[in-house]
């Protein structure tokens, strides 16, 4: 059924005059009459009783009028949704994040997107480590992800959104708990709590490289699957660890956080990453919102040597 025929039927039914209906549709009267005849042939019943003086709806035409209006309304809704999808005002964006380290930035981004583009569905997918996000972005399983630099995959683009300070976490009864900062050399005899060394954790790799630079290999006494559990072990006195300022709010009882002297890196950079070939208009809108909700910080003077 041609929607233009339905539109012609509604115009004649509401005007009950072919001349006025033709003028309303910005067309000549003969083509309008042809459209009505075409629709009547398709439906196999008359829509109008007409003579030289009057036009009136038949019983069938009167019963068809409201469904025809709904049909045009639904067609208009389909066009509106399609236009919103093309413009990026509607759609779905899958966002990967790594638990505690995204707890500040993720809510800022999602709240801003929902306020400015409520038609965009955000699918939030938690992951444990950054390398997983890189793989899923390349595979097309994610549209956007919170990651840490460097982003070595050439297919991916990224933008830094947060600078995270590298800190040493100590139990609050530790012998260095009252010091303003710590040197890793002073922890050579301490036991460490750590993330697993077979999962590609950037934080775990950073801890190992910093300790090696300080002249020792850390003694791993406890291994936990995520940063929040590692910090809980530290608070319980099971060891010390290297962590990031973004994770600090996860555990505040029984634990102290100290800057680290002398052994880089002093900071890590959190970033938003996406596939350079992703043409999603909804993703483009989310990235635009992210420019304002999570502006790139001034990176001058930060040490990210690893």
Task: Please compute, for residue 306, the number of CA atoms within 13 A of its CA located in the half-sphere on the CB side.
Answer: 15
> pLDDT band at 272, cuts 50/70/90?
very high
Q: pLDDT at residue 103 above 90?
A: no
DSSP calls for 86-132: HHTSSEEEEEEE-GGGGTTHHHHHHHHHHHH-TTEEEEEEE-S-HHH
204 burial (CB, 10 Å; 0-12 / 13-18 / 19+) is buried
Provide mean pLDDT across the span 190-214: 85
Q: Report the pLDDT value the prediction gives residue 101, as an integer from 0 to 100.
A: 59
Record the pTM.
0.66
Provide mean pLDDT across the span 231-256: 88
> pLDDT band at 99, cuts 50/70/90?
low
Provide mean pLDDT across the span 158-170: 92
CA–chain centroid gap for 221, Å, is 37
**CA-based torsion, 78, 79, 84, 86: positive or negative:** positive
Report the C-alpha gap between 11 and 91 in whole angstroms: 34
Q: How many residues does the chain have?
A: 306
Q: pLDDT at residue 265 above 90?
A: no
Q: pLDDT at residue 141 above 80?
A: yes
Q: What is the CATH number of domain 91-161+268-293?
A: 3.40.190.10
Q: Which residues pair with 56 in a beta bridge?
A: 49
Structure-block tokens of residue 22? 């033709």
DSSP calls for 170-223: EETTSTTTTSSSEEGGGGTTSEEEE--TTS--HHHHHHHHHHHHTTS--EEEEE
What H or E segment, with its residue span, contains residue 162?
strand 156-171
> pLDDT band at 83, cuts 50/70/90?
confident
**Which one of 33-42, 192-201, 202-211 scores highest in mean pLDDT?**
33-42
CATH 3.40.190.10 residue window(s) in the chain? 91-161+268-293, 164-266
CATH 1.10.10.10 residue window(s) in the chain? 3-87
> pLDDT band at 51, cuts 50/70/90?
confident
Q: pLDDT at residue 267 above 60?
A: yes
Q: Report the pLDDT value the prediction gives residue 132, as an integer from 0 to 100.
A: 81
**CA-based torsion, 171, 172, 177, 180: positive or negative:** positive
Q: Are 121 and 92 in contact (CB under 8 A)?
A: yes
Kindly provide the b/e burial profile for residues 264-288, where b requires at least 16 CB atoms within 10 angstroms of the residue's own CB. ebbbbbbbbbbbeebebbbbbbbbe
Q: pLDDT at residue 32 above 60?
A: yes
Q: Report the pLDDT value the prediction gives residue 12, as an integer from 0 to 100.
A: 92
Q: What is the CATH number of domain 164-266?
A: 3.40.190.10
Q: pLDDT at residue 306 above 60?
A: no
83 burial (CB, 10 Å; 0-12 / 13-18 / 19+) is exposed
Provide mean pLDDT across the span 224-248: 89
Q: pLDDT at residue 8 above 70?
A: yes
CATH class, domain 3-87, is mainly alpha
Provide mean pLDDT across the span 53-67: 90
β-strands 156-171, 267-275 pairing = antiparallel
Q: Report the pLDDT value the prediction gives residue 304, as an integer from 0 to 100.
A: 58
Q: Are 206 and 268 in contact (CB under 8 A)?
A: yes
For residue 240, what is the DSSP state? B
Q: pLDDT at residue 259 above 90?
A: yes
CA distances from 7 to 10, 25, 205 (A): 5, 9, 66
Q: pLDDT at residue 128 above 60?
A: no
Provide mean pLDDT across the span 234-263: 88
SS3 32: helix
E strands, 42-90, are 48-50, 55-57
CA distances from 87 to 123, 262, 273 (A): 19, 50, 21
Lowest mean pLDDT among 28-37, 130-139, 160-169, 210-219: 130-139
Provide mean pLDDT across the span 63-83: 84
Per-residue pLDDT of 168-190, as tens digits, reads 999 999 999 999 999 999 999 99
Q: pLDDT at residue 242 above 80?
A: yes
Report the C-alpha gap between 113 and 159 in whole angstroms: 17
Mean pLDDT, the chain, integer: 87
Q: Report the pLDDT value the prediction gives residue 137, as an integer from 0 to 100.
A: 92
Lowest mean pLDDT among 59-73, 212-226, 251-265: 251-265
């Amino acid at each position: 059924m041609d929607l233009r025929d339905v539109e012609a039927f509604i115009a004649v039914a509401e005007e009950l005059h072919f001349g006025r209906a033709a003028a309303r549709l910005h067309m000549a009267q003969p083509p309008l009459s042809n459209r009505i005849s075409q629709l009547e042939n398709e439906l196999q019943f008359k829509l109008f009783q007409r003579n030289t003086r009057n036009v009136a709806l038949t019983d069938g035409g009167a019963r068809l009028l409201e469904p025809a209006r709904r049909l045009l309304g639904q067609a208009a809704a389909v066009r509106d949704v399609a236009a919103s999808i093309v413009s990026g005002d509607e759609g779905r964006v899958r966002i990967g994040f790594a638990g505690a380290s995204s707890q500040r930035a993720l809510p800022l981004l999602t709240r801003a997107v929902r306020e400015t583009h409520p038609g965009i569905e955000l699918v939030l997918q938690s992951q444990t480590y950054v390398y997983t996000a890189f793989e899923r972005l390349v595979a097309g399983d994610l549209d956007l992800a919170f990651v840490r630099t460097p982003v070595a995959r050439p297919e991916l683009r990224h933008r830094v959104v947060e600078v995270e300070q590298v800190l040493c976490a100590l139990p609050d009864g530790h012998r260095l708990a009252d010091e303003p900062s710590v040197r890793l050399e002073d922890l050579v005899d301490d036991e460490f709590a750590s993330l697993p060394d077979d999962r590609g954790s950037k934080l775990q790799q950073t801890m190992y490289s910093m300790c090696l630079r300080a002249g020792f290999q850390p003694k791993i006494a406890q291994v936990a699957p995520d940063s929040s559990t590692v910090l809980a072990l530290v608070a319980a006195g099971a060891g010390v660890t290297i962590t990031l300022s973004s994770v600090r709010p996860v555990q505040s009882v029984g634990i102290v956080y100290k800057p680290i002297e002398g052994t880089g890196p002093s900071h890590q950079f959190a970033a938003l990453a996406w596939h350079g070939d992703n043409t999603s208009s909804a993703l483009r809108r989310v990235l635009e919102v992210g420019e304002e909700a999570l502006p790139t910080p001034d990176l001058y003077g930060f040490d990210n040597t690893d």
